[in-house]
């Protein structure tokens, strides 16, 4: 297979060149038919941006999406009450202004004049409808818990409350009033998150599959429209001339190719067919990092996100806390970063990244590459499980198809074999298949990344409050852990709140439902003629802010 690697790459590139041509990649930017819809009322020259994502977005429904590929598209075709800018500041979106009560529990949003892409006005009831739809337990939104700061939201979602008791009320077409259970310092930022995006009720009620394809049923309110969606192939976004701030949107067309291999993405960037590589789209190929560093084009910045391995605690072997501890402690993270990922990441010795306020210091839960402690934990775990030889422990490391994830898994596989004598098999799946494996518990150890939904430690801890949480996927829960999170939510004293969160993290880092690997940095390369193409602190890119120089 190694001998045929070069031939395979050339074949992939040849096939991909056809995809590029079909999407208008690398073509004449001044006369491209895919731009005509998004530029119908403008005499300005069409400007195209070409990017790639790793795979098909699992869902382009704001209430159902739970991954970064889907979010990367949704945050550009819909707009929430606020938009979080590159500094992390909530700025006016569909809400042109808002008021917060003295007790910090009531938010009153005043909506601007805005239209849906079908001409309907955007009204406060569209937000009330979308949020309550996601909270309806029958709709199985994995991100329903993101609404739990709102009064009555958790009770309704968990089947014990009434929809009428939820603190979300459209008082009139221009006024949305939201009442919280407790003061929530990051709530305003939350209203820019994908699950808080509005939905057009008329469209959704007329067709329950409205979000399955591009076309007249896919109605949006953001700076771009979903003009074309060739499933598992490409997506085209075109400027929405009815968007309230369309006059300040420079890029008229965004072509999004779906390319699984990072190496192919790097090759096409170097050939000029792609304009950008980086999250939330496809990542920079590990084998291209040194080259991009050398020519000065690689940008690296800290990011509030973590790469970790999840343990399925319902599995016989993974149910043992000492086995999970041994696997976690035996990894030499710094060597992984120096020789494999090469992106100046930081070894993750906890669940909350060092870039999150209040968590800047190592909390001392365990040491990187603590082989002695790992061996001691392994011995204890084997005794508890009645296993005499570590060679009898066989585990599967699952990950979504990616050259980067495969390289990391191969490194960790070798670490566990060399230091612990444990045999592990690698299991890769296409993204949507992989997500389903995690959801149904069809795995032992699975990689996942978590990017902050908002800049606060709670976003990294909340998903493990209960095994029923749609983003947990490990089966682990702990009553004391949950109680500490509940106390943190209700606490108004910030120092006490941080202490509760750190106590909760400490519990998880003695039971190890996850093995933190590293805290991400954001690696990207972008063409020199493109400005403002960068992520905000929560990892989003807003194409409406991007400028292309002539």
Q: Which two tokens stand for residue 340?
A: 């494999």
Please give the model's pTM, rounded to 2 decimal places: 0.84
Burial letters 59-74, b for 16+ CB under 10 A, else e: bbbbbbbbbbbbbbbb
Cα gap 165→154, rounded to integer Å: 11
The confidence score (pLDDT) of residue 397 equals 98
Q: Is the pLDDT of residue 112 over 90?
A: yes
Residue 8 has pLDDT above 90, yes or no: no
Which among 82, 186, 86, 72 is positioned nearest to 455, based on CA atoms? 186
Inform me whether the pLDDT recorded for 256 exceeds 90. Answer: yes
Residue 366 has pLDDT above 90, yes or no: yes
Does the pLDDT of residue 41 top 70, yes or no? Answer: no
pLDDT at residue 185 is higher than 70: yes
> Are the C-beta atoms of residues 465 and 482 closer than 8 Å to each other?
yes
Cβ-proximal residues to 272 (8 Å cutoff; 6+ apart), any chain:
26
**What pLDDT band is residue 22 in, cutting at 50, 70 and 90?**
very low
Mean pLDDT, the chain, whole residue set: 91
**CA-to-CA distance for 158 and 145, rounded, in angstroms?**
10
Section 405-413 average pLDDT:
98
> What is the 3 state secondary structure string of 485-522?
HHHHHHCCCHHHHHHHHHHHHHHHHHHCCEEEEEEEEE
* Spans of all domains in the chain: 49-241+527-548, 300-523
- Mean pLDDT of the region 197-213: 97
Q: How far apart are CA 273 and CA 295, in angstroms?
A: 19
Per-residue pLDDT tens digits for 210-244? 999 999 999 999 999 999 999 999 999 999 999 99
Evaluate whether the domain defined by 49-241+527-548 bears CATH number 3.30.30.60.
no
Q: Is the pLDDT of residue 2 over 90?
A: no
pLDDT at 39: 41
Q: Using one digit for the tens of pLDDT, what is the confidence trace for 259-282?
A: 999 999 999 999 999 999 999 999
Residue 44's pLDDT band, with cuts at 50, 70 and 90, is low
Mean pLDDT computed over 293-319? 96
Segment 389-395 shows an average pLDDT of: 95
**Residues 138-158, mean pLDDT to the nearest whole number:** 96
pLDDT 10s digits, 278-296: 999 999 999 999 999 999 9
Residue-wise pLDDT tens digits, 496-520: 999 999 999 999 999 999 999 999 9
- Judge contact between 225 and 77, C-beta under 8 A: yes
pLDDT of amino acid 46: 84
* pLDDT, mean of residues 491-500: 94
- Average pLDDT on 426-447 reads 96
pLDDT at 11: 34
**Dist CA 429 CA 439 (whole Å):** 14
Burial of 339 (0-12, 13-18, 19+ CB in 10 A): exposed
At the topology level, CATH places domain 300-523 in: Dipeptide-binding Protein; domain 3 (3.10.105)
Q: Is the pLDDT of residue 43 over 50?
A: no
- 550: confidence class by pLDDT, cuts 50, 70, 90: confident
């Amino acid at each position: 297979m190694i001998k045929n690697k070069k031939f395979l790459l050339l074949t992939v590139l040849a096939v991909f060149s056809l995809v590029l041509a079909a999407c208008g990649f690398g073509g004449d930017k001044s006369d491209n038919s895919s731009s005509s819809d998004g530029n119908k009322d403008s005499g300005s020259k069409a400007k195209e941006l070409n990017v790639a994502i790793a795979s098909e977005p699992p869902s382009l429904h704001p209430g159902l999406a739970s991954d970064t590929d889907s979010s990367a598209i949704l945050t550009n075709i819909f707009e929430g009450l606020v938009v979080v800018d590159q500094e992390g500041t909530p700025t006016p979106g569909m809400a042109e202004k808002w008021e917060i009560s003295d007790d910090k529990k009531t938010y009153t949003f005043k909506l601007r004049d805005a239209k849906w892409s079908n001409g309907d006005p955007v009204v406060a009831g569209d937000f009330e409808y979308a949020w309550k739809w996601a909270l309806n337990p029958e709709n199985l939104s994995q991100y329903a818990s993101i609404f739990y700061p709102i009064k009555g939201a958790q009770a309704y979602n968990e089947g014990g409350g009434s929809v009428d008791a939820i603190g979300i009320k459209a008082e009139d077409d221009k006024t949305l009033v939201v009442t919280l259970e407790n003061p929530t310092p990051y709530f305003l930022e939350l209203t820019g998150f994908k699950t808080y995006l509005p939905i057009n009720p008329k469209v959704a009620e007329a067709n329950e599959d409205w979000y399955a394809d591009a076309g007249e049923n896919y109605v949006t309110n953001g700076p771009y429209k979903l003009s074309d969606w060739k499933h598992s192939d490409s997506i085209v976004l075109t400027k929405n001339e009815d968007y309230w701030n369309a006059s300040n949107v420079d890029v008229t067309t965004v072509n999004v190719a779906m390319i699984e291999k990072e190496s192919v993405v790097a090759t096409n960037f170097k050939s000029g067919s792609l304009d950008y590589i980086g999250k939330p789209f496809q990542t920079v190929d590990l084998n291209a990092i040194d080259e991009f560093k050398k020519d000065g084009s690689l940008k690296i910045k800290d990011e509030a996100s973590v790469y970790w391995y999840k343990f399925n605690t319902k599995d016989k072997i993974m149910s043992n806390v000492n086995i999970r501890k041994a696997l976690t402690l035996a990894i030499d993270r710094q060597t992984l970063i120096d020789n494999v990922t090469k992106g100046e990441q930081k070894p993750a010795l906890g669940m909350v990244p060092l870039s999150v306020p209040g968590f800047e210091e190592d909390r001392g839960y365990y040491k990187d590459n603590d082989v002695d402690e790992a061996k001691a934990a392994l011995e204890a775990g084997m005794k508890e499980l009645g296993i005499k030889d570590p060679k009898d422990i066989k585990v599967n490391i699952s990950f979504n198809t990616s050259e980067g994830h495969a390289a990391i898994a191969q490194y960790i596989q070798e670490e566990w074999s060399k230091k612990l004598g444990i045999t592990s098999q690698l299991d890769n799946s296409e993204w949507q298949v992989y997500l389903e494996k995690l959801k149904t518990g069809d795995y032992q150890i699975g990689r996942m990344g978590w990017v902050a939904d908002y800049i606060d430690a709670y976003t990294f801890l909340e998903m493990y409050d209960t095994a029923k949480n749609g983003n947990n996927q490990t089966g682990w829960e702990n009553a004391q852990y949950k109680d500490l999170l509940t106390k943190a939510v209700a606490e108004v004293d910030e120092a006490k709140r941080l202490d509760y969160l750190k106590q909760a993290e400490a519990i998880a880092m003695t039971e190890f439902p996850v093995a933190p690997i590293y805290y991400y940095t954001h690696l990207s390369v972008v063409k020199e003629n493109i400005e403002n193409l960068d992520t905000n602190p929560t990892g989003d890119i807003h194409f409406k802010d991007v400028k292309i120089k002539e």
